[in-house]
Amino acid sequence: MRQGKPVKERGIHAPRLKGAQLVGLGHYAPQRIVPSAEIETAFGLEAGWIESRTGIANRRYAAKGETLSDMAAAAAEQALSAAEAKGVSRDEIGMTILATSTPDHLLPPSAPLLAHKLGLSRSGGIDMAGACAGFLYALTFADGFVRQHNKACLIVAANLLSRRINPDERDSAILFADAAGAMVLTPCEDSCKGVLSVDLTSDGSNYDLIKIPAGGSAQPFQPGMAVSETLMTIADGRAVFSHAVQTMAETASETLKACDLEIGEIDHWVPHQANKRIFGKVQQVLGLDDRQLLSSIANFGNSSAATIPFTLSHEVAQGRDLTDGDLLLFSAVGAGLTGGAVIMAI
């Protein structure tokens, strides 16, 4: 490689790092409400069994013909409208990130279609398949993009899991739901706004704990393939519980340590709404008060990556107060196993 001039000597302008300010939130859940009693009847379970073990009384399922990109667009419209009310136009969105495990198609990615539906003519678009932790990865990527490139970013996390539930497998059928959550970040002069600390992790040794067996290059679709091969399966629910609690607690502790923060200084904790017993145990381990917890699992179930931005937006819409300078802690674990924690200042 030939020796060239240093960038500074070539007169090239590089944008300085800024902060990433949250300027818009949005959420969407389909209209169809599926009570736990309906699923209990299908599996022959006693009344109240599902809610006592998961915290889920109801969940939402998409309507026939409703797509993942439809749900994502509905949540994104709310977030974009909120951003526009604060002076951030759609033309300023430089990137659209869609965190999902259930895109409209395996190919092409759904983010470009989402950006098109929203009229984001100047935005890039990319899907991120991080399972239940996908929002954390998308937020981390988005924060760096906003700071480094001085452009706004739309993050949408959405999943349509009702079409991936195996009706013969109780462990997944009782949990999963459909929803979308969205967030708009824009550059700001305060470098302390946005993501302050991140601890992301993965554990490929437990790759097969939660999966959809068929559809990838390892097991392509084939004529005569059993439908169950295309649906979600949880191999060991107890192992998932154990890994989720440990990972969420450890990564949260690492993010706090990196910022020299105590757990009591966190204003709002939004865990992935996997199962109330999981995040209840994490809450106990970390020493979080009930006042810090934001939860939507009782009436909306587990929509994988969507649960964190959905819960945050839904709670704000219900009157939860977000104040300038508040610290948010996000925690999640998902298939893969992917996981982590993020501390964000608003």
Could you confirm whether 206 is annotated as catalytic? no
| Residue percentage of the chain with pLDDT more than 90 | 88
Give the Cα separation of 338 and 148 in Å (integer).
25
Residue span of the structural domain in which 234 resides: 195-345
Is residue 3 one of the residues assigned to a domain? Answer: no
Could you confirm whether 13 is annotated as catalytic? no
Same domain, 217 and 124: no
Residue 237 confidence class, pLDDT cut points 50, 70, 90: confident
Which listed residue (132, 153, 268, 314) is catalytic?
132
Same domain, 201 and 172: no
Same domain, 134 and 209: no
**What average pLDDT does range 156-163 have in this prediction?**
98
Residue 339, pLDDT > 90, answer: yes
Pairing outcome for strands 32-35 and 58-61:
antiparallel
How many residues are recorded in the chain?
346
Which listed residue (243, 275, 302, 314) is catalytic?
302
Q: What's the total number of domains in the chain?
A: 2
Output the average pLDDT for the chain. Answer: 94
Residue 63: DSSP 8-state: P
For 179-188, write each residue's pLDDT tens digit.
Answer: 999 999 999 9
Which listed residue (27, 243, 268, 272) is catalytic?
272
Contacts 24+ apart (CB under 8 A), 10-17: 15/148, 15/149, 15/150, 17/147, 17/148, 17/191
Same domain, 155 and 259: no
Residue 11 confidence class, pLDDT cut points 50, 70, 90: low
Same domain, 171 and 69: yes
Is residue 225 one of the residues assigned to a domain? Answer: yes
Could you confirm whether 302 is annotated as catalytic? yes
**Domain at 93, CATH number:** 3.40.47.10
